[in-house]
Amino acid sequence: MTFEGALEYGKGLLEKAGVLDYQLDAWYLMEYACKICKSEYYLCAKEEMEDEAFQEYTLLLKKRGERVPLQYITGVQEFMGLPFKVNSHVLIPRQDTETLVEEALKVLEPGMEVLDLCTGSGCIIISLLKHARVKITGTASDISKQALLIAKENAKHNQVEAELVRSDLFQNITGKYDIIISNPPYIPTGEIPGLMPEVRDFEPLEALDGAEDGLFFYREIARMGRKFLKSNGYLYFEIGHDQGRRVAFLMEENGFRNIKVIKDLAGNDRVAFGNLPAVK
Ligand code: GLN
């Protein structure tokens, strides 16, 4: 089989399996299996592929055809221009979440202490630490021990230092922070069966399920957050596209002010933030 033939075969197989980006994914898996870049591919497109490489490619295609997310096969996802290792214990970082990080970057001041709740792969706190123009300190927590192992590797790989705490929300958190940031699970339980198989069957359910109305974690974090925020402290949330009004209301009910809801690049509400009034 030539490289070109194998790629066509891959595209066909993934298309039949119902993979949305079947052309791109067939290429990414070839890149991964054969360790070639696009320009190398064009040079060798008509050449025969080694049997071993073709077998490896077929194996990866089969997994993807079973709807295992591409990133769980290749083991990485880029986020805010940085590489993040992922496995099935953590949510795959989404481009939408970059809007959250970019908003929080705007308010960072020297010496600020930031807490990232439900950190998963660590993508939020690590990219904040990496892209901050001033020196800040970061703490991140997750209920999952396996997720924290991945976050630890990601911090090391991206050369930032974050304190990692295993905690069910604020349970094991001490001290006060300038910013609490979180992309908590926010999908209503009833909507989970209707998600794409990649998400529904392979991403960790505990990273997705926001209980009955999807707002469980916002309620808890908004209610308890003020105890862990300094005077004037900020709360930043990623939210679902239809949750802006309700999350803003929850924040207001819990004493947050200057609440704003920001859209992502696709034009959907994606971030809600506000701050506690300064204590005089
Ligand atoms: N904070 C992580 C992310 O944004 C994980 C979010 C989650 O598990 N709900 O990717």
Nearest ligand 1 atom, CA 116: 1
Whole-structure pTM value: 0.95
Tens-of-pLDDT digits for all 280 residues of the chain? Answer: 999 999 999 999 999 999 999 999 999 999 999 999 999 999 999 999 999 999 999 999 999 999 999 999 999 999 999 999 999 999 999 999 999 999 999 999 999 999 999 999 999 999 999 999 999 999 999 999 999 999 999 999 999 999 999 999 999 999 999 999 999 999 999 999 999 999 999 999 999 999 999 999 999 999 999 999 999 999 999 999 999 999 999 999 999 999 999 999 999 999 999 999 987 6
Could you tell which of 97, 99, 114, 168 is best to mutate to test the pocket of ligand 1, judged by most ligand atoms within 8 Å of the CB? 97
Question: Taking Cα atoms as reference points, which of 24, 49, 67, 4 lies closest to residue 199?
Answer: 67
Residue 128 near residue 160 (C-beta atoms within 8 A): no
Partner residues linked to 85 by β-bridges:
76
In whole angstroms, what is the distance from residue 42 CA to residue 36 CA? 10
- Residue bearing the CA closest to ligand 1, atom 8: 207
For residue 62, give every residue at least 6 positions away whose Cβ sits within 8 Å of its Cβ, in sequence order, or none.
none
In DSSP notation, 151-177 reads: HHHHHHHTT--EEEEE-STTTT--S-E
